[in-house]
A and B are shown apart, each in its own frame.
Chain A
Amino acid sequence: MTENTPGTLLRDIDSINPVMPYLRQERIPHIWCPSCGIGTTVNCFTRALTESGMNLDEIAIVSGIGCTGRVAGYLNLDSFHTTHGRAIPFATGLKLANPRLKVVVYSGDGDLTAIGGNHFVHAARRNMDLMVICVNNFTYGMTGGQVAPTTPLGAKQTTMPFGNYEAPFNLPFLADACGASYVARWTVFHVRQLAKAMLEGLKKRGFVFIEALSPCPTLYQRRNKRGDGVDELKFYKQNSVVKNGADTKELGLTFNGPIAVGKFVDRERPTWLDAMNEHLGKVLGAEYLPWEGGNG
């Protein structure tokens, strides 16, 4: 799969891009635009998978609809590309049917927090044992750049042609308030930190929420005269402030303001399934058949 180019020396060495074993290689190149950050988050995710040492046959990935929703189709894992907004309830059924699986939801901000917002808040409330990766590019990319629940005030979108006047979500605050066990935000500039957060997320039991800010060069950056993807990464670099453990109330994002990044929540709460098994075991005693997935 590898090739050398003028300027490099290693024509015959057996080597492979560490991301490649995780991809359905016959589907590459992907559909994402030049300088879109989604692919970068996929690199981070695959590095986290390597580090975790987990059995890849026991990891399932569930996506909704949208550009980030296509991640499931590129990853060489058991992968499910579901309907718009419903990745979390699908993942909930999958996880409960076979609790041995590590189930990762990988989707975009519009999918997870607009049409899927209700599912998001309830999965966090239940502390469903899911890792949710939200690639937040502040817009609906697949449909052409409409206003999202994350679009900063003032930003122009096709359905906010004179600038957005609708207050956006502060996603870490939302996840925290709903009871998530782990909440972090990084940008695609922070590749090593993002990979580390994903590794922690893979190891964590309970509802994990990782927000990854990413450029949408075609529809957010261009419309808002912010250059292309690399300019946005430079913006992230210059404007990000690491605030581990910060009060999530204070993490709201603005059009040009500072970006608080870091790990904000890391707490222990019983997962939905742990709570069910413990409670029913206590109340029903020997009559109860604890659920571990049966023959499933």
Chain B
Amino acid sequence: MNLTSPERQGKGTVFVRPEICKGCSFCIDFCPTHCLEFTKDFNAKGYHFPILARPADCSGCDLCGLYCPDFAIYGERWKDIDARQAKGPPAATASAPKPIAAPRVQDPEPADPKGVLTGIHFMDGDHAACEGALAAGCRFAAGYPITPSTEVVERFAARIPMVGGVFIQMEDELASSIAVQGAVWGGQKSLSVTSGPGFSLMMEHIGLAAITETPGVWVDVQRGGPSTGLPTLPGQADMMQAKWGSHGDYEIIAIVPNSPQECFDLMVKAFNLSEIYRCPVMFMMDEVVGHMVERVVIPPASEIKVVPRKWTHKPKDEYRAYATSKDDPVPEMTKAGAGYRIHVTGLTHDERGYPAMNAVAQDKLVRRLIGKIRDNADKIMDVREDGVEGAEIVVVSYGITSRIAMSAVEEARKRGVRVGHLRLVVAWPFPAKRMRELAKTAKVFIMPELNMGQMVLEIERAVAGAARVVSLPHAGGSVHEPETILAAILEVGR
């Protein structure tokens, strides 16, 4: 229109989007020149909306725009409109996302030597777990003191200043378990560490990490429970909590080391899996493994394979933060500050990451979160087998209990029993398929564990009656006597 039109009145004017107005009247009541009024018309939602009733009085001050809680009105001065028109259309201001210096493919890379304490050490499992995290590229840890896990973060706090990174002791485990997720979205690999009641407090954010697909490792150095229980003594009674502890349906990966060396080696694996599948990985140590001091060999950085984050390299207008394909159920990731302007929410969301609260979106998201782990269970599975093929009896164990079971199995073999031993290194997802295969020949599975019978339920479920399943529970506070396990083997082998 002709900007010098005689119709132009006042020093400015207002623009209104009637369709999103909710009729609050803030603009009308707080207009300094009282130039606005409600129309008698209704918008589609049934609200009256403002009009510029007295154009000659409008100063274009935009106080209406500042007040409008619905972003439905704003004002502008004629002189600003004229200046902008004279300048022509504004240049595009959207900045292109900065490329992230990392390969798109998740081929493992050698570890950053800064974090790798190459050499032969004599250290406990807690310290070795910390070294594993540093070797895996973890540069942020948050924790809260709790026995028997505290040594992990104590070592991290002492080591990280020379490696380059941050440790912060948060005010509680709720805070620790979400601070690490903030750090992941800030671009780092992160670790949180706890035990006992602290693990219960962290559960809220395991669910958040699952739904937002935030990679990271959560260490639980298991002690006796429930509640404060036995702070300084071992347990393995958090195994079901690791899998089911947060509300709702989701899948995690849980890894169970049985020695300080494995605390190092498997910690690297834990970080790698969390980056590949973008899910929380639970590192299920126990008090004995955490405090046991043994030889730990840390190889040169070049021999440690570290999986980088699955950074996106898509242009901003093509990138959808939670878009996946049939072939790849894990979305590409970015971070705050990369220019993508992502939205990440704990609400059920669509491919853009926007809240989508309906059954269709829920079905799509939850099926994918579950499927990306369950459908890859065979790839994630890690069991260590010893003479299980053709064995009539298979002892299944994990963590510290596996070391006792091993000696019992050896002793039983000396006495002529055909017994094998299977150790769960990855406990979740549970290797159900492998159990079913073994159940074709094995007559009995025996499972000793430092709880009143948790993972044994998974064996029962997997073999579904095809073999007998014997639970050897232990309430925690100490470990099984080898004789107890031996006696059970001999009993069923008779």
Residue of B nearest to A14 (CB): B89
Given contacts A8-B16, A10-B13, A119-B171, contact A34 B55 (CB under 8 A): no
- Residues on B with C-beta less than 8 A from A289 are 114, 161-164
B344 contacts partner chain A, Cβ-Cβ < 8 Å: yes
Given contacts A5-B51, A90-B182, A96-B183, contact A36 B16 (CB under 8 A): no
Residue of A nearest to B175 (CB): A89
Interface code A30-57, partner B: CB below 8 Å = 1, 0 otherwise? 1011111111101110010000000111
CA distance A12 to B66 in the complex (A): 23
A291 contacts partner chain B, Cβ-Cβ < 8 Å: yes
**Is B18 within 8 A of A3, CB to CB?**
yes
Given contacts A20-B71, A89-B175, contact A35 B24 (CB under 8 A): yes
Interface code B1-19, partner A: CB below 8 Å = 1, 0 otherwise? 1010101110001111111
- Residues on B with C-beta less than 8 A from A295 are 101, 187
A133 contacts partner chain B, Cβ-Cβ < 8 Å: no
Binds A, one of B332-340, B434-442, B454-462: B332-340
Which of A4, A12, A33, A97 interacts with B16 by CB under 8 Å? A4
A213 contacts partner chain B, Cβ-Cβ < 8 Å: no
CA distance A280 to B53 in the complex (A): 64
B472 contacts partner chain A, Cβ-Cβ < 8 Å: no
Kindly identify, within residues 16 to 60 of chain B, every residue whose CB is under 8 Å from any CB belonging to chain A. Answer: 16-20, 22-26, 29-30, 39, 41, 47, 49-53, 55
Kindly identify, within residues 78 to 114 of chain A, every residue whose CB is under 8 Å from any CB belonging to chain B. Answer: 78-83, 85-86, 88-98, 100-101
Residue of B nearest to A217 (CB): B24
**Is A73 within 8 A of B162, CB to CB?**
no
**Is B186 within 8 A of A8, CB to CB?**
no
- Residues on A with C-beta less than 8 A from B184 are 93, 97
**Is B340 within 8 A of A78, CB to CB?**
yes
**Is A17 within 8 A of B342, CB to CB?**
no
CA distance A228 to B69 in the complex (A): 14
**Is A230 within 8 A of B25, CB to CB?**
yes
Residue of B nearest to A31 (CB): B355
Which of A3, A81, A272, A287 interacts with B162 by CB under 8 Å? A287
A195 contacts partner chain B, Cβ-Cβ < 8 Å: yes
Given contacts A5-B39, A17-B74, A284-B162, contact A78 B341 (CB under 8 A): yes
- Residues on A with C-beta less than 8 A from B208 are 82-83
Which of B3, B70, B85 interacts with A39 by CB under 8 Å? B70
Residue of B nearest to A125 (CB): B171
**Interchain pairs with CB closer than 8 A, number:** 299
Which of A3, A24, A97 interacts with B183 by CB under 8 Å? A97
Kindly identify, within residues 129 to 188 of chain A, every residue whose CB is under 8 Å from any CB belonging to chain B. Answer: 188
**Is B140 within 8 A of A77, CB to CB?**
no
B222 contacts partner chain A, Cβ-Cβ < 8 Å: no
- Residues on B with C-beta less than 8 A from A56 are 341
CA distance A176 to B410 in the complex (A): 66
Which of A1, A14, A24, A38 interacts with B69 by CB under 8 Å? A38
- Residues on A with C-beta less than 8 A from B7 are 9
**Is B181 within 8 A of A90, CB to CB?**
yes
Interface code A14-28, partner B: CB below 8 Å = 1, 0 otherwise? 110111110110011
Residue of B nearest to A63 (CB): B345
**Is B17 within 8 A of A90, CB to CB?**
no
- Residues on B with C-beta less than 8 A from A255 are none
Which of A3, A9, A33, A93 interacts with B179 by CB under 8 Å? A93
Which of B15, B67, B175, B187 interacts with A4 by CB under 8 Å? B15
Chain A: minimal CB distance from B32 (Å): 11
Hey, which bits of chain A sit against chain B, CB under 8 A?
A: 1-15, 17-21, 23-24, 27-30, 32-40, 42-44, 47, 55-58, 60, 62, 72-73, 76-83, 85-86, 88-98, 100-101, 118-119, 122, 188-189, 191-192, 195, 228-230, 233-234, 272-273, 276, 280, 284, 287-289, 291, 293-296
Q: List 21 A-B contacts (CB under 8 A).
A: A5-B49, A9-B55, A11-B1, A14-B85, A18-B65, A21-B93, A24-B354, A36-B69, A40-B69, A43-B71, A81-B345, A93-B181, A93-B182, A93-B184, A122-B175, A273-B166, A289-B164, A291-B164, A294-B188, A296-B186, A296-B335
Given contacts A5-B50, A287-B161, 10 further A-B contacts (CB under 8 A): A8-B51, A14-B85, A24-B343, A43-B71, A81-B343, A81-B355, A98-B188, A100-B337, A101-B186, A119-B171
